[in-house]
Chains A and B, each alone.
Chain A
Amino acid sequence: MEVLFLILPMALVISLGFVLCFIYAVKNGQYDDLETPAFRILLDDDNHTTQVRNNNDSED
């Protein structure tokens, strides 16, 4: 069980790493707007779909 003396500080260091990641994310503004990105992900990046739809319409 003596391995605990080594593992515990290591676990603490790892968790500190995650805490630092979290602090970085907060300061980076990733938590400022929690609503819009959820919608933004639904949108396509380019106008590709529009063009396709327009073509379909004209064929009809």
Chain B
Amino acid sequence: MQCSCIYFVEFTLFYKINVLKVLIIHMDNSEEKTKIELCDHCGENLIQTYYADYDGVQKRFCCHGCQSVYEILNVSGLTEFYELKRGVGFTERPRYSEQKFLHLDDIEFIDKYLEPTKRNINGKDYFYFKFFVEGIHCVACLWILEKLDVFFSENEILFSKLNMSSSILEISFSKEMKLSKIAKRISSLGYFPHAILSDLDAQKLLKKEDQKMLIKIGLAFAFAGNIMLYSLAVYAGADGIFKEYFNLFSFLCTLPVLGFCAIPFYQSAWGSLKTKVLSIDVPIVLALIIGMGMGIYGLIFKIDIFYFDTLSTLVFLLLLSRYILKKAQQKALGVEDLSLLFSNQYSQRKIDGRVEEVLTKFLKVGDEVLVEANETVSIDGVIVAGKTHINNSLLTGEVRPDYREVGDAVYMGAKNLDCPITVRVTETVDNTRLGKMLQEIEHGWHEKSQISLITDKIAKRFVWVIFILSTFFLIYFTYTSTIYVAFERTLSLLIITCPCALALTTPLALILGLSAMARNGVIIKNENTIEKLIKSKKIFLDKTGTLTKGDFSVVKKNCYGEAQNWMSHIYSMELCSKHPIASSIVSYIKCFHPSIKKIEFDRVYEVAGKGVEGFIGGDFFEIKKIDEQIDLLNQLNSKVGFFRNGQLAVSFELSDILREGISSTISEFEKYGPTPYILTGDNQDRALEVAKSLKIPRERVLAEKSPEQKRDIILKNAKSIMVGDGINDAIAMRASFVGIAVQGSVDLSLRAADVYLSKSGVSHILSLIRGSRFIFRIIHRNLLYSFLYNCLGVYLAFLGYVSPLVAAVLMPLSSITILISTVISTNKLNKIIKI
């Protein structure tokens, strides 16, 4: 009976295991099935598949970019990249860039920005250069970028070294090598290199400062540690000659700590006394001086008062906490520094019928520049050849294209829409309208950040309170007790009330908040911004590009006449045009017919300012606006028709549509503040229509405003947020309490704005404001804690329960507890920011 029972159990077990096996196999299969749909380079789902054979193995790619990257790696035998990448789990398609980087080979550029290395190796001279590389994710990126030399012949590249935290690639290459080739190779690997055109000396200086601080901390630590050992001996009961000996050594070790390591405190205290603004460094320096004076006094007169251990520990801990803070700050502000380094704009200069790429900075008045269709004009100038439509939206905020021909002026920032033009430079980059705007913005930037923080104010008052209390201590105990007791208790008071928790955790909370936001695509330039965001009463939103997507999208399609599918005809015709409407129709068709193929026409050509025409067999097709009389892009909704032999076959209705998630954002603003306004350069009707769909009342719509008018409105409304895109909002953004840029390039936007949303979508503003409120709750809590702690400390010091040494240990302990609580609570921030 028992036996059969066991058999039964075994059987069921066996059965279950088999079922499990089958299940696992099945799961494996299903996994493989899904794998088939993934790109072999980036791992994204395949919508359109490009197939290619490598060593007899078929590989699938989602785009040409991925395919070419794979090809390069495969040819060079670097496919280990994919082994390293596996498990990291990022998906990003490489930017497929056609850029040739030829401007990096310009003689003027080489002279100015390439640094020749001092050493001469293998009989060759080398250059040193730095790139900021976009798209660094993981160890695989590190691996491939440091193997750059494999792609070139031997000794061409001396080394390539990547700093992953700052995404900076240092590279040393031989003088015969062209920098453009290296840049092109990096970009063909799927990363995008930005040449760093900055002062090399300034960078070195910054590095040196960092190193100096680190050395100070190291020294302070070494000496404080030794002093601790000597003091321990004294506390343990060393007597007579030994005690004096130990104390002498403590004193000797304290000298470099106070004389060298503590220099930053003296400097800042002196600076604050000079400007008559009390900083928290003043009581610290006071404590150092009192402690040192008493120590020396005790040493000379052989009295039992020594505070060398206290002082050196204090200096070490303060230095350390400040270094950590500085590091965190540098990480948060790195984005800003980098954005200022990007000035990689280049232009095509025409010389003797040849075209060469040069850095736009190097263009001079009178040079002729070729501007291709779909490129942006990089200088102010006059057209000398060609006619075209340009889009001035960056400057004026209008999407409507303007027609320009020979003799007309064009300005920097305008986008050339359809035909190549040649422009003679009339103003160099810094003197262009846009350049001047940018300068104005940068100039005014400095004044703006001079708003004093709430914590600064509190710290100042706090320092006064400490001073008054310590004088009271000194006088009170001199009368009631001995002068030694008076000094000792005052010293304890100064040390224990040192407002480090205040000075340390507030910036820490702000910085942790900033980096949490940055991880979610919200880049904040300055930590003061968070405080200002909470205080804001009104929020002004630009319309084009901020509330709406800023370009035309197809909203409706109508078919007429015989039910034939003309989509591939329309698709192939519109592919020839670079007009914004054509490209939006192309993307619309591609969205609904992903497998659409281009068909061959006998003849297709674009008629500038009209549309596209083409022939197949005897049929004549054209795509143009339906009502000839109406200026197409001036309308709220534009209608475009596809005609076959003059007969309307398909019509498209296009409109500038609202961004996703915008209406819920606006309704939350209405509920919890700040009050939303629309401020736009566009015409009244369009602005009102958008306002209506967002349920913003009529009186809060301000339309047809020039950039300068926008600024004036912002200035009239104190404590207002300006949300905008492009340069036309830049002046207003700078004038505002808080400027938020939602689109456009990071570098331009961050010069004017305080906040840059790298992910499109205004809904991030909401998470920004929510996050700011949360950060401030943390800061307020910290302030409360440190206030309570200090009250207790003062009380205990008054009663004489804490000696200076205990105070010197308790002070950092309290700071650390508040620090930890800050770090833990900012971790919650991630949940709040994500929507």
Contact = CB atoms under 8 A, between A and B. Distances in A.
Contacts of A18: 222
Contacts of B253: 12
Contacts of A12: 226, 249, 253
B647 interface: no
Contacts, number: 76
Interface string A24-60: 0011010111111001101100010111011001100
A27 B178 CA distance: 32
Given A12-B249, A36-B163, A53-B83, A22 B218 contact: yes
B705 to A, nearest CB: 47
How many residues of A sit at the interface, in one of the four size bands?
Answer: 20 to 34
Contact of A19 (B143, B165, B218, B230): B218
Contacts of A33: 163-166
A50 B226 contact: no
Interface in B28-78: 55, 57, 77-78
Nearest to B207: A32
B77 A50 contact: yes
B19 to A, nearest CB: 30
A31 B142 contact: no
B79 A8 contact: no
Nearest to B142: A39
B781 to A, nearest CB: 31
B242 interface: yes
A46 B225 CA distance: 44
Contacts of A8: 230, 245, 249
Contacts of A4: 242, 245
B162 interface: yes
B261 to A, nearest CB: 12
Majority secondary structure of chain A interface residues (helix, strand, loop or mixed): helix
Contacts of A47: 77-78, 80
B155 interface: no
Q: How big is the B interface, by class?
A: 20 to 34
B13 interface: no
Contacts of B142: 36, 39-40, 43
Among A11, A42, A43, A51, the one with the most B-chain Cβ atoms within 10 Å of its Cβ is A43
Given A15-B226, A32-B207, A26 B139 contact: no
B715 interface: no
Contact of B162 (A36, A42, A57): A36
B219 interface: yes
Interface string B163-186: 111100000000000000000000
B211 A27 contact: yes
Nearest to A48: B80
B121 interface: no
Contact of B245 (A5, A35, A51): A5
Nearest to A44: B80
A16 to B, nearest CB: 8
B214 A31 contact: yes
B277 interface: no
Interface string B186-229: 00000000000000000000010011001100110010011000
A50 B163 CA distance: 24
A48 to B, nearest CB: 10
B770 to A, nearest CB: 30
B242 A39 contact: no
A39 B164 contact: yes
Contacts of B249: 8, 12
Interface string B521-562: 000000000000000000000000000000000000000000
A1 B139 contact: no
Contacts of A36: 142, 162-165
Contacts of B207: 29, 32
A15 B221 CA distance: 11
A22 B78 contact: no
B575 to A, nearest CB: 39
A36 B145 CA distance: 12
Given A26-B211, A47-B80, A19 B162 contact: no
A59 to B, nearest CB: 13
A41 B78 CA distance: 18
Contacts of A54: 77, 79
A43 B230 CA distance: 46
A49 B78 CA distance: 10
A11 B139 contact: no
Contacts of B214: 26, 31
A50 B139 contact: no
Contacts of A23: 215, 218
8 contacts: A19-B222, A22-B218, A29-B207, A31-B211, A33-B166, A35-B165, A42-B139, A50-B78
Given A34-B165, A43-B143, A47-B78, 13 more contacts: A8-B245, A23-B218, A27-B211, A29-B207, A31-B211, A33-B164, A36-B162, A43-B84, A43-B142, A49-B80, A53-B80, A53-B83, A58-B55
Interface of B: 55, 57, 77-80, 83-84, 139, 142-143, 146, 162-166, 207, 210-211, 214-215, 218-219, 222, 225-226, 230, 242, 245, 249, 253
